[in-house]
Structure 1
Amino acid sequence: MLFHYHFWTPHVEETEKFYVNQGFRISLRNGKYNGEFQTFNPPLAWDDFRDKEIKFRIIEARKGAVNITFGYGKKVIFDHIGFLVSPAEYQQICKNAEDLNWKIDGGERRTFIATPYGFRVELQTHGDAIDGTVEEAELKELLLTVKKPEMKRDLNDLFGRDVPLTAVVGDTVTVNEAVMTGMKVTSIHDPNGVMIAIKSESPSA
């Protein structure tokens, strides 16, 4: 299940405020202050630390089955997308990555696969990476800009199925559009240029 994307951005506070306004909760703030990494998690608010010149490594926003993270960068850079998979799916996807000669960086909590398309793929097997269910909020599809048109084919080969990603070819690798359910507005851009497009679920007959 597609559940996640991550950006580096100079608009850290603005990005947090944007997603909070869409009903997300902030579950984590970790940043470097006085040479050490520290947490500034809620109930702390920005008024408590705005003047401390913290360089945030990661801020995590959650809603339903969606998890979005971002950290400080001098310019907006798209880093990776994430899929929540079963242990069996994880093993097969890693084998497929080896067949594609893509580098696998395994970790205790998550694994990253480096693609040749300017972004990484995170594999997550822990259900606690999300707060709730797809009925509350779900990341249905991402529209990416990539530099080579083979991305969709290769990502389908990686996962062994059709993945909810589409792509256009351009000069800057990024997420153009994130299609979600459970948001408060019909369409709006986040501070990093991602269009949040709302997909309404049809009621069951």
Structure 2
Amino acid sequence: MSTPTLFHLHFNTPAVTVAAERLAGAGLQLQRRFGSVRGDSIALGPDEGTPDDFRLKLQTHQYGVVNVTLAPGRQPRFDHFGLQVTGVEEVRAKAESRGWSVRSNDRRTFVMTPWGFRVEIHPTTSDVVAELDEPTVAHLEKVVLRVPAVPTVRTAFKDVFGSVPELRIESGEEPWIHSFAIAEKRTTTTIPVRTPLTGENTPT
């Protein structure tokens, strides 16, 4: 199995609009909004107006091979991140051998880790990956995941998914993406996650 690529982050926040504005300031423009109008599912492009009675389910922001999803929630929460992998079935087998739950649909596979967060995996040929731009435009670096029991998490994570160069696993009280960096051709922008999701300063 070749080296996986971390390209996707998914967060819940009570302030989707504010978070979206802050992500846009870092180059992550709105790509699409998904929701419903009176029970009917609808997808809106970035320049389409919001219909009456529109209920937002989630929206995606994209730049290069960086894809960030924002979904409404009562409080800021890290839900999952996504990897491009060459061996989806190999990852599935390793996860299931550890007793982890694995669920798939037509577009993606989710692996539930025992630490309270999911990992979404895509083959490099999936339509989700095909919608991304080139990594030379922008890509993720230094995604800092904070969890308890760091040595255990590091060992098991590497065994199931392989070594993920973009990911840093550090000690924290609960699963949380503390920060991530968007690397462009000449610049790198680090985004403390609590700042775009809540407007608060992120503690070190």
**Class of the TM-score when normalised by the shorter of the 2 chains:** 0.7 to 0.9
**Aligned counterparts of 1:91 and 1:63: Cα–Cα separation in 2:** 28
**Coordinate RMSD, CA, aligned:** 2.5
Question: Residues 131-150 of structure 1 correspond to what in structure 2 (within 5 A)?
Answer: 131-149=132-150, 150=152
Q: Which residue does the alignment assign to 1:199? A: none
Q: Where do 1:97-136 residues align within 5 Å? A: 97-125=95-123, 126=126, 128-129=128-129, 130-136=131-137
In structure 2, the CA distance between the partners of 1:44 and 1:70, relative to structure 1 (3 Å rule), is same
> Could you tell me which residue of structure 1 aligns to residue 158 of structure 2?
156
List alignment gaps of at least 5 residues for structure 1.
Answer: 195-205
Shift of 1:186: 4.1
Alignment size in residue pairs: 189
Per-residue deviation, 1:33? 4.1
The answer to whether the 8 A contact 1:30-1:41 is kept is no
Return the TM-score normalized by structure 2. 0.81
SS at match of 2:197: coil
Partners of 1:152 and 1:166 within 8 A in 2: no
The answer to whether the 8 A contact 1:24-1:63 is kept is: yes
| Cα shift at 1:162 | 5.1
**Residues of 1 paired with 2:176 and 2:14: CA distance?**
15
**Separation in 2 of the partners of 1:113 and 1:193?**
28
The answer to whether the 8 A contact 1:32-1:55 is kept is yes
Instruction: Tell me, in whole angstroms, the C-alpha distance in 1 between the residues paired with 2:44 and 2:121.
Output: 26
Which residue does 1:85 correspond to in 2?
85
Task: Tell me the distance in 1 between the aligned counterparts of 2:46 and 2:143.
Answer: 29
Matched, 1:63 2:59: no
- 1:79-118 per-position Cα deviation (integer Å, ceiling 9, x unaligned): 00100122xx112111111121111001110000000111
SS at match of 2:20: helix
Secondary structure of the residue aligned to 1:39 is strand
Match of 2:18 among 14, 26, 47: 14
Range with greater deviation from structure 2 (34-43 or 146-155): 34-43
Task: Specify every segment of 5 or more residues in structure 2 that has no aligned partner in the other structure, as ranges.
Answer: 200-204
Per-residue displacement from partner, 1:13-41 (whole Å, max 9, x unpaired)? 11211222222232210124434433332
